[in-house]
Protein backbone atom coordinates (compact mmCIF):
# COMPACT_ATOMS: atom_id res chain seq x y z
CA UNK A 1 0.00 0.00 0.00
CA UNK A 2 1.15 3.52 -0.77
CA UNK A 3 0.38 5.97 2.06
CA UNK A 4 -1.36 9.30 1.43
CA UNK A 5 1.36 11.04 3.43
CA UNK A 6 4.77 9.61 4.34
CA UNK A 7 5.19 8.16 7.85
CA UNK A 8 8.11 9.46 9.91
CA UNK A 9 9.51 6.72 12.16
CA UNK A 10 12.45 7.04 14.53
CA UNK A 11 15.22 4.46 14.35
CA UNK A 12 16.95 5.66 17.49
CA UNK A 13 17.58 9.37 18.03
CA UNK A 14 19.96 9.78 15.08
CA UNK A 15 18.03 8.22 12.19
CA UNK A 16 14.64 8.94 10.70
CA UNK A 17 12.77 6.53 8.44
CA UNK A 18 10.64 8.32 5.85
CA UNK A 19 8.26 5.58 4.79
CA UNK A 20 6.13 6.10 1.68
CA UNK A 21 4.36 2.73 1.78
CA UNK A 22 4.83 -0.94 2.58
CA UNK A 23 5.08 -2.62 -0.82
CA UNK A 24 7.57 -3.03 -3.67
CA UNK A 25 6.22 -0.65 -6.28
CA UNK A 26 7.89 1.47 -8.98
CA UNK A 27 5.93 4.66 -8.32
CA UNK A 28 6.49 4.43 -4.59
CA UNK A 29 10.20 3.81 -5.18
CA UNK A 30 10.27 6.88 -7.46
CA UNK A 31 8.97 9.00 -4.54
CA UNK A 32 11.75 7.64 -2.31
CA UNK A 33 14.39 8.44 -4.91
CA UNK A 34 13.00 11.93 -5.61
CA UNK A 35 13.42 12.78 -1.93
CA UNK A 36 16.86 11.15 -1.89
CA UNK A 37 17.86 13.27 -4.88
CA UNK A 38 16.92 16.43 -2.95
CA UNK A 39 19.19 15.30 -0.10
CA UNK A 40 22.08 14.64 -2.50
CA UNK A 41 21.56 17.99 -4.19
CA UNK A 42 21.07 20.24 -1.18
CA UNK A 43 22.92 18.33 1.54
CA UNK A 44 21.07 19.91 4.46
CA UNK A 45 23.05 20.70 7.60
CA UNK A 46 23.34 17.83 10.07
CA UNK A 47 22.43 15.04 7.62
CA UNK A 48 25.20 12.44 7.42
CA UNK A 49 23.90 10.04 4.81
CA UNK A 50 20.70 8.77 3.23
CA UNK A 51 19.87 5.15 2.41
CA UNK A 52 17.14 4.71 -0.21
CA UNK A 53 15.27 1.40 -0.25
CA UNK A 54 12.19 0.02 -2.04
CA UNK A 55 9.72 1.99 -0.02
CA UNK A 56 11.49 4.27 2.43
CA UNK A 57 14.41 6.61 2.85
CA UNK A 58 16.58 6.22 5.95
CA UNK A 59 18.03 9.60 6.92
CA UNK A 60 21.08 9.38 9.20
CA UNK A 61 21.40 12.70 11.02
CA UNK A 62 23.09 14.31 13.99
CA UNK A 63 20.34 15.54 16.34
CA UNK A 64 22.82 17.97 17.92
CA UNK A 65 23.13 19.70 14.54
CA UNK A 66 19.60 19.52 13.17
CA UNK A 67 16.40 18.89 15.09
CA UNK A 68 13.98 16.20 14.06
CA UNK A 69 11.25 18.80 13.62
CA UNK A 70 13.39 20.95 11.33
CA UNK A 71 14.32 17.88 9.32
CA UNK A 72 10.69 16.86 8.89
CA UNK A 73 9.72 20.40 7.88
CA UNK A 74 12.46 20.37 5.26
CA UNK A 75 11.32 16.96 3.95
CA UNK A 76 7.68 18.04 3.81
CA UNK A 77 8.67 21.16 1.89
CA UNK A 78 10.66 19.06 -0.60
CA UNK A 79 7.75 16.67 -1.10
CA UNK A 80 5.29 19.55 -1.57
CA UNK A 81 7.72 21.24 -3.97
CA UNK A 82 8.36 18.16 -6.07
CA UNK A 83 4.62 17.54 -6.38
CA UNK A 84 4.26 21.09 -7.68
CA UNK A 85 7.15 21.20 -10.10
CA UNK A 86 9.43 18.34 -10.99
CA UNK A 87 10.81 19.91 -14.13
CA UNK A 88 12.99 22.61 -12.58
CA UNK A 89 15.30 20.20 -10.78
CA UNK A 90 18.50 19.71 -12.72
CA UNK A 91 20.88 16.88 -12.22
CA UNK A 92 23.51 18.69 -10.20
CA UNK A 93 24.16 16.11 -7.55
CA UNK A 94 26.80 15.44 -4.98
CA UNK A 95 30.30 14.94 -6.40
CA UNK A 96 31.90 11.66 -7.34
CA UNK A 97 29.91 8.54 -7.63
CA UNK A 98 27.06 9.58 -5.35
CA UNK A 99 24.72 10.58 -8.13
CA UNK A 100 21.04 10.01 -8.54
CA UNK A 101 19.34 8.37 -11.52
CA UNK A 102 19.92 9.88 -14.97
CA UNK A 103 16.70 11.24 -16.45
CA UNK A 104 17.62 10.79 -20.12
CA UNK A 105 15.14 8.00 -20.88
CA UNK A 106 17.94 5.57 -21.67
CA UNK A 107 18.30 2.08 -20.25
CA UNK A 108 21.39 0.10 -19.33
CA UNK A 109 21.85 -2.87 -21.63
CA UNK A 110 23.45 -5.56 -19.48
CA UNK A 111 24.95 -8.53 -21.34
CA UNK A 112 23.79 -11.78 -19.74
CA UNK A 113 24.68 -15.38 -20.51
CA UNK A 114 21.86 -17.86 -19.82
CA UNK A 115 23.84 -20.93 -20.91
CA UNK A 116 23.18 -23.66 -18.29
CA UNK A 117 26.93 -24.33 -18.21
CA UNK A 118 27.34 -20.86 -16.64
CA UNK A 119 23.82 -20.20 -15.28
CA UNK A 120 24.02 -22.83 -12.57
CA UNK A 121 20.37 -22.94 -11.46
CA UNK A 122 18.49 -22.20 -14.68
CA UNK A 123 17.42 -25.80 -15.30
CA UNK A 124 16.21 -26.24 -11.71
CA UNK A 125 14.39 -22.88 -11.71
CA UNK A 126 12.79 -23.57 -15.10
CA UNK A 127 11.58 -26.93 -13.89
CA UNK A 128 10.06 -25.34 -10.76
CA UNK A 129 8.34 -22.77 -12.97
CA UNK A 130 7.17 -25.45 -15.46
CA UNK A 131 9.02 -23.82 -18.36
CA UNK A 132 11.76 -24.92 -20.73
CA UNK A 133 15.03 -23.16 -19.75
CA UNK A 134 15.13 -21.36 -23.09
CA UNK A 135 11.71 -19.81 -22.40
CA UNK A 136 12.82 -18.68 -18.95
CA UNK A 137 15.83 -16.98 -20.54
CA UNK A 138 13.74 -15.39 -23.31
CA UNK A 139 11.15 -14.04 -20.90
CA UNK A 140 13.79 -12.72 -18.53
CA UNK A 141 15.62 -10.96 -21.36
CA UNK A 142 12.43 -9.54 -22.91
CA UNK A 143 11.37 -7.64 -19.79
CA UNK A 144 12.33 -4.10 -18.78
CA UNK A 145 13.70 -3.61 -15.27
CA UNK A 146 14.20 -0.84 -12.77
CA UNK A 147 17.03 -0.72 -10.23
CA UNK A 148 15.02 -0.35 -7.02
CA UNK A 149 17.81 -0.42 -4.49
CA UNK A 150 21.12 -1.91 -3.45
CA UNK A 151 21.47 -4.10 -0.41
CA UNK A 152 23.14 -7.13 1.12
CA UNK A 153 26.63 -6.46 -0.24
CA UNK A 154 28.40 -3.78 -2.31
CA UNK A 155 26.88 -3.55 -5.78
CA UNK A 156 24.09 -6.08 -5.22
CA UNK A 157 21.36 -4.44 -7.23
CA UNK A 158 17.69 -5.38 -6.72
CA UNK A 159 15.51 -5.11 -9.83
CA UNK A 160 11.78 -4.74 -10.25
CA UNK A 161 10.05 -5.68 -13.49
CA UNK A 162 10.38 -9.47 -13.43
CA UNK A 163 7.47 -11.01 -15.39
CA UNK A 164 4.95 -12.64 -13.06
CA UNK A 165 5.45 -15.95 -14.85
CA UNK A 166 9.02 -15.99 -13.44
CA UNK A 167 8.07 -15.26 -9.81
CA UNK A 168 9.67 -18.04 -7.77
CA UNK A 169 9.77 -18.72 -4.03
CA UNK A 170 13.25 -18.38 -2.57
CA UNK A 171 14.96 -21.52 -1.30
CA UNK A 172 14.37 -22.34 2.36
CA UNK A 173 18.10 -22.53 2.98
CA UNK A 174 20.72 -20.52 1.08
CA UNK A 175 22.68 -22.28 -1.65
CA UNK A 176 26.46 -22.04 -1.67
CA UNK A 177 28.19 -18.89 -2.85
CA UNK A 178 26.89 -17.49 -6.12
CA UNK A 179 29.41 -16.95 -8.90
CA UNK A 180 30.72 -13.45 -9.53
CA UNK A 181 28.28 -11.40 -11.62
CA UNK A 182 25.36 -13.77 -11.00
CA UNK A 183 21.95 -12.76 -12.35
CA UNK A 184 19.32 -14.17 -10.03
CA UNK A 185 15.58 -14.44 -9.55
CA UNK A 186 13.69 -14.88 -6.29
CA UNK A 187 10.45 -13.75 -4.69
CA UNK A 188 9.13 -11.81 -7.70
CA UNK A 189 12.33 -9.82 -8.21
CA UNK A 190 15.53 -10.12 -10.16
CA UNK A 191 18.98 -9.29 -8.83
CA UNK A 192 22.45 -8.70 -10.18
CA UNK A 193 25.11 -9.80 -7.71
CA UNK A 194 28.76 -8.86 -7.57
CA UNK A 195 30.99 -10.79 -5.18
CA UNK A 196 30.23 -14.44 -4.34
CA UNK A 197 27.85 -14.86 -1.37
CA UNK A 198 25.41 -17.55 -0.22
CA UNK A 199 21.79 -16.77 -1.14
CA UNK A 200 18.41 -18.41 -1.42
CA UNK A 201 17.86 -16.98 -4.90
CA UNK A 202 18.28 -18.90 -8.19
CA UNK A 203 21.21 -18.17 -10.52
CA UNK A 204 19.61 -17.99 -14.00
CA UNK A 205 22.40 -16.11 -15.76
CA UNK A 206 25.73 -14.37 -15.43
CA UNK A 207 26.83 -10.97 -16.61
CA UNK A 208 30.45 -10.14 -17.43
CA UNK A 209 29.75 -6.53 -16.34
CA UNK A 210 31.02 -5.45 -12.92
CA UNK A 211 28.37 -3.43 -11.16
CA UNK A 212 31.03 -2.57 -8.61
CA UNK A 213 34.73 -2.18 -9.22
CA UNK A 214 37.23 -0.19 -7.18
CA UNK A 215 39.40 -0.02 -10.31
CA UNK A 216 36.89 2.27 -11.96
CA UNK A 217 35.65 5.78 -11.23
CA UNK A 218 32.83 5.88 -10.45
CA UNK A 219 33.03 2.42 -8.85
CA UNK A 220 29.27 1.84 -9.11
CA UNK A 221 27.75 1.73 -12.58
CA UNK A 222 24.00 1.88 -12.10
CA UNK A 223 22.19 4.39 -9.87
CA UNK A 224 19.00 3.42 -8.05
CA UNK A 225 16.03 4.36 -10.21
CA UNK A 226 17.74 3.65 -13.55
CA UNK A 227 16.24 1.34 -16.19
CA UNK A 228 17.93 -1.89 -17.32
CA UNK A 229 17.47 -4.60 -19.90
CA UNK A 230 19.36 -7.85 -20.39
CA UNK A 231 20.93 -8.79 -23.71
CA UNK A 232 21.43 -12.54 -24.11
CA UNK A 233 24.97 -13.56 -25.04
CA UNK A 234 26.54 -16.96 -25.65
CA UNK A 235 29.28 -18.55 -23.58
CA UNK A 236 32.02 -17.50 -26.06
CA UNK A 237 30.96 -13.84 -25.94
CA UNK A 238 30.70 -14.07 -22.17
CA UNK A 239 34.30 -15.23 -21.96
CA UNK A 240 35.63 -12.43 -24.15
CA UNK A 241 33.55 -9.68 -22.49
CA UNK A 242 34.52 -11.03 -19.08
CA UNK A 243 38.20 -10.72 -19.98
CA UNK A 244 37.67 -7.13 -21.12
CA UNK A 245 35.64 -6.24 -18.01
CA UNK A 246 38.42 -7.71 -15.88
CA UNK A 247 40.71 -5.03 -17.37
CA UNK A 248 38.35 -2.30 -16.16
CA UNK A 249 36.35 -1.81 -19.37
CA UNK A 250 32.61 -1.15 -19.12
CA UNK A 251 30.93 -3.78 -21.30
CA UNK A 252 27.33 -2.72 -20.62
CA UNK A 253 26.00 0.23 -22.59
CA UNK A 254 23.25 2.80 -22.40
CA UNK A 255 20.62 2.87 -25.09
CA UNK A 256 17.58 5.03 -25.64
CA UNK A 257 14.46 3.06 -26.50
CA UNK A 258 13.69 3.31 -30.21
Partner 1 sequence: MRARLYIRAAGPGVTIQDAGRFGYSRYGVTRAGPMDEAAFAAATRAVGSAAAIEASLGGCTFEAEGATLAVAVAGGAFDIRLDDAKLPPGCFFPLAPGARLTIRAGASGAWCYAAIGARFDLPLALGSLSTHARSGLGPKPLAAGDALPLLDLAPAPHGPCAIEEPWLAPDAAPIRVMLGPQDDYFPPESLEAFLSCEWRVGARSDRMAYALEGPRLAHSRGHDIVSDGAVMGAIQVPGSGAPFVLMADRQPTGGYPKIATVIGADLGRFAQLRTGETVRFRKVDREEAVAARVALKSKMAAGASLTPLAAEMSTEKLLAANLISGVVSGRD
Rounded CA-CA distance 50/44 in Å is 11
Closer residue to partner 1 in complex, CB, 144/151: 151
Closer residue to partner 1 in complex, CB, 54/108: 54
**Nearest to residue 167, comparing CAs of 188, 185, 183?**
188
Phi, psi of 8 (to 5 degrees): -110, 115
Binding site for partner 1 (CB under 8 A): 9-15, 17, 19, 22-24, 36, 48-58, 60, 63-64, 68, 94, 97-98, 149-157, 195, 212, 214, 219-220, 224
Closer residue to partner 1 in complex, CB, 157/251: 157
User: Nearest distance from residue 75's CB to partner 1, in Å?
Assistant: 15
User: Nearest distance from residue 84's CB to partner 1, in Å?
Assistant: 26
Residue 19 near residue 55 (C-beta atoms within 8 A): yes
CA of 144: how far to CAs of 74, 153, 229, in Å?
34, 24, 5
Closer residue to partner 1 in complex, CB, 156/230: 156
Q: In sequence order, what DSSP letters do the residues of 33-47 get, joined into one string?
A: HHHHHHHHHH--TTE
Handedness of CA 116, 122, 124, 126 (dihedral sign): negative
Closer residue to partner 1 in complex, CB, 12/105: 12
Amino acid sequence: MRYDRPRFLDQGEAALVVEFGDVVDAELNASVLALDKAFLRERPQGVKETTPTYRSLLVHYEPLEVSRDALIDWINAVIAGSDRDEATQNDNDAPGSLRSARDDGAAWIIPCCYDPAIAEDIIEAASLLGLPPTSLAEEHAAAGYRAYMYGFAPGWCYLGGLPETLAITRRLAPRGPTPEGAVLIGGGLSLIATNPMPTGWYVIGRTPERLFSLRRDPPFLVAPGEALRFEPIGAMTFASLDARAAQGEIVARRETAA
